[in-house]
Amino acid sequence: MRPLRSIHVLCGIVMSVHVWASELPEERELMTNLSNLFLRKVPADLTPTTTMLDLSYNLLSELQSPDFRSVSRLKVLILCHNHIQELDIKTFEFNKELKYLDLSYNMLKTVTWHSLAGLRHLDLSFNDFGTMPISEEISNMSRLEVLGLSGAEIQKSDFQKIAHLHLTTVFLGLRTLSHYEEGSLPILNTTKLHIVLPANTDFWVLLRDGIKTSKILEMTNIDGKSQFASYETQKSLTLENSKTSTLLLSNVDLLWDDLLFIFQFVWHTSVEYFQIEHVTFGGMVYLNRNSFDYSNTAMRAIKLEHVHFRFFHIPQDSVYLLFTKMDIENLTLSDAQMPHMLFPTYPTRFQYLNFADNILTDELFKNPTQLPHLKTLILKGNKLETLSLVSSFAKNTSLQFLDLSQNLLQHENKENCFWPETLITMNLSSNKFVDSVFGCLPTRVQILDLSNNQIQTVPKEIIHLESLQELNLAFNVLTDLPGCSHFKRLSVLNMEMNLILSPSPDFFQSCPGVKTLNAGGNPFRCTCELRDFIQLEQYSKGMMVGWSDSYICEYPLNLKGTRLKDVHLPELSCNTALLIVTIVAAMLVLGTAVAFCCRYFDLLWYVRMLGQWTQMWHRVRKTTRQLKRNAQFHLFISYSEHDSAWVKYELIPTLEKEDGSVSICLPERNFDPGKTVTENILNCIEKSCKSILVLSPSFVQSEWCHYELYFAHYPLLDEISHHIILILLEPVPLYCVPTRYPRLKALMEKKAYLEWPKDRRKCGLFWANLRANIHVSSLETRDTCEPHTFTELKEESRGSALSLIRTDYI
Ligand SMILES: *[C@@H]1O[C@H](CO)[C@@H](O)[C@H](O)[C@H]1NC(C)=O
Ligand SMILES: *[C@@H]1O[C@H](CO)[C@@H](O)[C@H](O)[C@H]1NC(C)=O
Ligand SMILES: *[C@@H]1O[C@H](CO)[C@@H](O)[C@H](O)[C@H]1NC(C)=O
Ligand SMILES: *[C@@H]1O[C@H](CO)[C@@H](O)[C@H](O)[C@H]1NC(C)=O
Ligand SMILES: *[C@@H]1O[C@H](CO)[C@@H](O)[C@H](O)[C@H]1NC(C)=O
Ligand SMILES: *[C@@H]1O[C@H](CO)[C@@H](O)[C@H](O)[C@H]1NC(C)=O
């Protein structure tokens, strides 16, 4: 057990030592909290720099002189709730800075005094002293402000020693009181006196002396078991030089008569504010009309809170009127199980009435009342049901603040409401209101709390609340933020915990004045509609209360649980107009680029040529078997006289440069003069693997007639495309083609030819295309078209032919 406890203590020390900064930054305060550790001795290993030491709730029974020697900088020492029986103040002789010493709730019987001049707070209450532990040394503690004392006997002579000290608080925590010498308390000079009485004490004399002692008097534990409130006592209670203006009694258990005596007694003193808390009434209530003398008082406010009745038959009317006839400024009767309340029929001076947490019903408003000065009415936590009744009650008042929260209030549309113009703050939270409540609101209201009701929408056709600044609609069932067209001055809006999926744009447009918005805890749907809302926080930092932890997506399901802050909704995907503009712009740019390329780089020509290559490439891949043919030449070239220069100096040299052994059938070389031109041409076509026709206007005029017939044999152009290659050397406009050449027309229309480019830079592509045509056709027909001079294509050139794009009939 012992080692365990040592470990426990050690852990306690380690864990409870922490540092905080004092008002003087250079002086660090160090707190050591050793509370509640079952310590029997003050630990020897205290941190020397400790300035605050808590040893409360331990088992210490004595203090020894070296105990606090190590902690010389100690300022605060808490030793309450231990078992210390004897104390020598010399124990603290090394703690010159000690300011606060709490020794309450011990078993002290004697104290050996030494001077502790720096002490400001000394608490010796709830100890077992016989007489008050007051000595000459205490009288020397000129800085003392708070003094806690206890003792079974209280005598004038004890207090006389400290009469010259100007204390702020004297606390008498008494376990027993066997003797009180009348007139002792008023010797003290203190602002506040708090007496905690032992059970069954004659409190009257202490109450009377207390009222003569301090401005604030508090007495705890008052019970009237000892009945002595005789008529004589009451008479002798009238007192002249009373000082108290604030009187607080708590934990009171009295017969009704005694309580009434207290009220009557206090009524004629200097007390202005009288508060009784946690009070239980017993006995029978007898009241006749004149049993209370209301004359001659300083009283301004009475507060009775947490009242419990031990009797069951109360003459209700007279009890209510007893209080309301007091006609003071403030009256609080809360948590008192009161079912009703009555007011005098004449005008009263009440400014503040608080009947919170009772069981008041609409009956309260049945009798006419005259409360012209009433500014604050608190009826929270009752059983009121009809809002319009409250309004007619309030009409005759100058009410500014009305708290009707936690009732059962409702409002029917047909009922009329008449609120006073003065009403500016209204709390209607936690009732049963629906949308119709907006038909019964004071026009000048500035702060309106409608939280925790069942409001679904803010109706469009409501009166304008021009002064409304704060509106709380939290914990309702609204599905949207309200617009501000009816509340032009709105600056604080609370829409927490409603059913808002995505706030409508109306809010952003009509509510520029809203500075604070709380919309946390709503089931947000994180789609594009929410973008404005998310941006609202980005643009106005700090506007949203609870950002960002309370703002969570509920929908769509893949975003559920994500904070709005972390949701990314790109501008482009959300803004349709922007999207259209972007697409149009992109198309414009692209179009311009294409047009530019067409204009300056003849893009269309390249595209067409590339198309030809592509087709040829496909063609290569699905080569079909060809008719067997015996060939004598690789190529037959047919052209008009007009184009012979191009053929001789461009075409043939280029083809021969490619392959020196190429054999070409040319009209002027290989035509047989004995035969007709047509016969010669057909002969040559048949003897050659490939025929090239060089088209130009003059070719069409002079040569084409021979071919029109030949082409007529082949209704499908594809059939001849393997061995006829048309080269368009010069453009042949369609209208120049005579109608008698329908085949040529068809070919021209189909653009089934290779076009000789005007631009020399493009010639490379033309030659490549032509060569590819020749080679591909050769490949297709390689097995069959093998002139004796034709050399086998090299492996790599075959590869290149394959990788070129096959062009034929386009
Ligand atoms: C020390 O700790 C206890 C809880 O263990 C706490 O109640 C007490 O207030 C602390 N003392 C001080 C001076 O903070
Ligand atoms: C009180 O203080 C004065 C001067 O400060 C000193 O002379 C006197 O001895 C002190 N009395 C006691 C009882 O300590
Ligand atoms: C009580 O103390 C106050 C200062 O706190 C002083 O003004 C007043 O005169 C003192 N009263 C008596 C009776 O000594
Ligand atoms: C009466 O109540 C009002 C409002 O709470 C408060 O401002 C005022 O100080 C009170 N008056 C007294 C005498 O307690
Ligand atoms: C309003 O006050 C007038 C007198 O000022 C009184 O006659 C009338 O009964 C009061 N009305 C209500 C509803 O209390
Ligand atoms: C309204 O009353 C409730 C409790 O009844 C309280 O929590 C809330 O703060 C009050 N609102 C205002 C604006 O005073």
| Domain residue spans of the chain | 603-806
- Looking from the CA of 741 toward its CB, the CA atoms found within 13 Å total 21
Quick check: bond before 548 cis, omega within 30? yes
**Angle at the Cα of 74 from the Cα atoms of 189 and 29, rounded to 5 degrees:** 105
Q: Tell me, yes or no, if the pTM score tops 0.75.
A: no
Locate the ligand 5 atom nearest the alpha carbon of residue 393 and give its number.
Answer: 13
Query: Which of the listed residues 165, 170, 189 should we mutate to test ligand 3's pocket, taking the one with most ligand atoms within 8 A of CB?
Result: 189
Query: Which of the listed residues 370, 388, 390 should we mutate to test ligand 5's pocket, taking the one with most ligand atoms within 8 A of CB?
Result: 370
Query: Which of the listed residues 330, 373, 425 should we mutate to test ligand 4's pocket, taking the one with most ligand atoms within 8 A of CB?
Result: 330
State the distance from the centre of ligand 3 to the C-alpha of 190, rounded, in angstroms. 8
Question: Per the structure block, which two tokens stand in for 286?
Answer: 């007898």
- C-alpha pair distances (Å), 272 with each of 217, 267, 302, 328: 12, 9, 8, 10
**Are 137 and 112 a contacting pair, CB within 8 Å?**
no
Report how far Cα 354 is from the mean position of its chain's Cα atoms.
36
pLDDT of residue 806: 29
Question: Per the structure block, which two tokens stand in for 266?
Answer: 């206090």
- Looking from the CA of 699 toward its CB, the CA atoms found within 13 Å total 22
Write the class of the CATH domain 603-806: alpha beta
| DSSP secondary structure of 73-129 | T--EEE--SS---EEEGGGGTT-TT--EEE--SS---EEE----TT-SEEE--SS--
Counted residue by residue, the chain has a size of: 810
pLDDT of residue 295: 86
Longest dimension (CA), the chain: 171
Ligand number nearest CA of 328 is: 4
State the distance from the centre of ligand 3 to the C-alpha of 99, rounded, in angstroms. 22
Helix (H, G, I), strand (E, B) or coil at 375: coil
Q: Is 447 in the pocket of ligand 6 (CB under 6 A)?
A: yes
State the distance from the centre of ligand 4 to the C-alpha of 347, rounded, in angstroms. 20
State the distance from the centre of ligand 1 to the C-alpha of 219, rounded, in angstroms. 27
As a 3-state breakdown, the chain gives helix, strand, coil percent values, each rounded to 5, of 30, 20, 50
Which residue's alpha carbon is at the smallest distance from atom 12 of ligand 2? 137
Residues 6+ apart with CB under 8 A from 712: 743
Q: What stretches of 342-382 adopt beta strand conformation (E)?
A: 352-354, 376-378
Please give all residues whose beta carbon lies within 6 A of any atom in ligand 4, as ranges. 272-273, 300-301, 329-330, 352, 376
Q: What stretches of 155-288 adopt beta strand conformation (E)?
A: 167-173, 179-180, 190-196, 216-223, 246-255, 273-282
Q: Is 676 in the pocket of ligand 1 (CB under 6 A)?
A: no
C-alpha 380/C-alpha 403 separation (Å) is: 6
Q: CB burial class (10 A; 0-12, 13-18, 19+) of residue 553? A: buried
C-alpha 699/C-alpha 690 separation (Å) is: 19
Helix 203-211 crosses helix 256-267 at what angle (to 10 degrees)? 20
pLDDT of residue 756: 85
Which residue's alpha carbon is at the smallest distance from atom 2 of ligand 2? 140
Query: Which of the listed residues 112, 114, 140, 143 should we mutate to test ligand 2's pocket, taking the one with most ligand atoms within 8 A of CB?
Result: 140
Quick check: bond before 556 cis, omega within 30? yes
pLDDT of residue 619: 53
Q: CB burial class (10 A; 0-12, 13-18, 19+) of residue 741? A: middle
Question: Per the structure block, which two tokens stand in for 675?
Answer: 């035969």
Neighbouring CB atoms inside 10 A of 288's CB total 8
Which residue's alpha carbon is at the smallest distance from atom 7 of ligand 1? 35
Helix 763-780 crosses helix 603-621 at what angle (to 10 degrees)? 10
C-alpha 602/C-alpha 594 separation (Å) is: 10
Q: Is 35 in the pocket of ligand 1 (CB under 6 A)?
A: yes
Residue type at 40 in one-letter notation: R
State the distance from the centre of ligand 2 to the C-alpha of 168, rounded, in angstroms. 23
Mean pLDDT split into 10-residue runs, the chain, 810 residues: 42 40 55 92 88 93 87 92 91 90 94 88 94 87 92 92 92 92 92 93 87 94 65 56 92 85 88 94 70 87 92 77 91 93 91 95 90 95 94 91 96 90 95 93 94 92 88 94 88 93 83 88 88 81 84 88 84 78 89 83 71 61 46 81 85 78 78 78 78 84 76 65 79 79 78 80 82 66 47 36 31
